[in-house]
Amino acid sequence: MTKKFINQLVQRLKDRREYLLSEVKLRLGEFKNSGTDRLSDTADIASNLIEDEIVMSIAQGEANEIEQIDNALIKIKEGKYGTCGNCGKSINKPRLMAIPFVNLCIKCKEDEERYEGSGINSGSYSYDTVEYAGIEADDEKRSNLKNFDLNDVNPYDN
């Protein structure tokens, strides 16, 4: 990578970091001021709690991105920038231009995402054994629970 390319990425990273810091400060200020009103209606209280959770979730995501940017800036200083943190191969320039703080090459990122979703197999779960409190279910019950389709499950059933 050329020095010019690295300098452009450093500037983009620093600009993004400053923007995110101002956004986090703004969101935390909103969160801090959200409890100042006295609410008497339960619906208003619930609505404000949900809004607060959303604001904090967004702020947390922005803080995570700031941490990734800081890690990328450290790697640039150490001369290790642009190297996949998993396989050690070079990350291609278009990927670095799109996401300058990325730390995995496309192949390793795809593998990571595939691994994260490997518990779900096209909408159905499989269970090898069914146990509860150390007591195994009988064979008939186990065969009924072995495979089931997620479409058959009502998430609102208790």
Please tell me the predicted confidence (pLDDT) of residue 82: 92
Please tell me the predicted confidence (pLDDT) of residue 118: 60
* Structural domain contains residue 139: yes
Reported as type and span, the H/E element at residue 145 is: helix 139-145
Please tell me the predicted confidence (pLDDT) of residue 1: 79
Residues 9 and 77 occupy one common structural domain? yes
Please tell me the predicted confidence (pLDDT) of residue 42: 81
CA distances from residue 94 to 98, 99, 135, 148 in whole angstroms, order as listed? 6, 9, 55, 42
Query: Residues 78, 81, 85, 91: what is their CA dihedral angle, to the nearest 10 degrees?
Result: -160
Give the structural domain span for 9: 3-81
* Structural domain contains residue 101: no
**Rounded average pLDDT per 10-residue block, the chain, 158 residues:** 90 94 84 61 79 85 93 94 93 91 93 75 44 46 46 46
Which of 39, 101, 33, 30 lies closest to 72, judged by CA?
A: 101
CA 56 to chain centre: 14
Please tell me the predicted confidence (pLDDT) of residue 133: 44
Residue 85: strand pairing partners: none
Please tell me the predicted confidence (pLDDT) of residue 66: 94
Count of structural domains, the chain: 2
Please tell me the predicted confidence (pLDDT) of residue 47: 79
Reduced to 3 states, what is the DSSP secondary structure of residue 124? strand
CA distances from residue 116 to 34, 109, 111, 119 in whole angstroms, order as listed? 36, 11, 9, 7
Whether the pTM exceeds 0.75: the reply is no
d(Cα 103, Cα 106) in Å, to the nearest integer?
Answer: 10
Please tell me the predicted confidence (pLDDT) of residue 127: 43
* Structural domain contains residue 107: no
**For the domain that residue 74 is a member of, what is the CATH number?**
1.20.120.910
* Structural domain contains residue 99: no
d(Cα 89, Cα 108) in Å, to the nearest integer?
Answer: 10
* Structural domain contains residue 72: yes
